[in-house]
Amino acid sequence: MSEQLGGAKLAQVALVVRDIEEASRRWADLLGVPVPNVITTAPGLEVEQTYNGAPSDARAKLAFFQLGPVQLELIEPMGGESTWQEVLDRKGEGFHHIAFWVEGMQRSVDYLREHGIPMVQRGDMGEGQYAYFDAEGRLGVTLELLEGKRETRATP
Amino acid sequence: MSEQLGGAKLAQVALVVRDIEEASRRWADLLGVPVPNVITTAPGLEVEQTYNGAPSDARAKLAFFQLGPVQLELIEPMGGESTWQEVLDRKGEGFHHIAFWVEGMQRSVDYLREHGIPMVQRGDMGEGQYAYFDAEGRLGVTLELLEGKRETRATP
| CA gap A111, A2 in Å, rounded | 10
Would you call B140 and A67 a contact, using CB atoms and an 8 Å cutoff? no
Q: Work out whether the CA dihedral B41, B43, B45, B47 comes out positive or negative.
A: negative
- What is the side-by-side order of every strand in the sheet holding B60-67? B39-40, B60-67, B70-77, B9-16, B94-101, B141-147, B128-135, B119-125, B50-51, B54-55
Q: Quote ipTM for the complex.
A: 0.93
pLDDT at residue A123 tops 50: yes
% of chain A exceeding 90 in pLDDT: 88
Q: Give the whole-angstrom CA distance, residue A102 versus residue A91.
A: 28
Give the A window 89-128 contacts with B, CB below 8 Å. Answer: 91-95, 98, 112, 115
**For all residues of chain B together, what is the average pLDDT?**
93
pLDDT digits (tens, 9 = 90+) for A83-93: 999 999 999 99
Q: Predicted confidence band at B8 (pLDDT cuts at 50, 70, 90)?
A: confident
Identify how many contiguous H helices and E strands chain B contains and give both numbers.
Answer: 4, 10
pLDDT tens per residue across span B82-108: 999 999 999 999 999 999 999 889 999
Chain A CB contacts of B141 under 8 Å are: 15, 94-95
Check residue A8 and give its pLDDT. 72
% of chain B exceeding 70 in pLDDT:
96
Residue range B111-137: average pLDDT?
Answer: 96
Is any Cβ of chain B less than 8 angstroms from the Cβ of A4? yes
Does A136 score more than 80 pLDDT? yes
pLDDT at position A1 is 36
pTM: 0.94
Give the pLDDT confidence score for residue A60 in this predicted structure. 98
Above 70 in pLDDT, residue B33?
Answer: yes
How much is the mean pLDDT over chain A?
Answer: 93
Residue of B nearest to A24 (CA): B139
Q: Mean per-residue pLDDT for B46-61?
A: 96
More confident residue, B112 or B5: B112
Which pLDDT band, with edges at 50, 70 and 90, does B2 fall under? very low
Q: Is there a contact between B42 and B48 (Cβ–Cβ < 8 Å)?
A: no
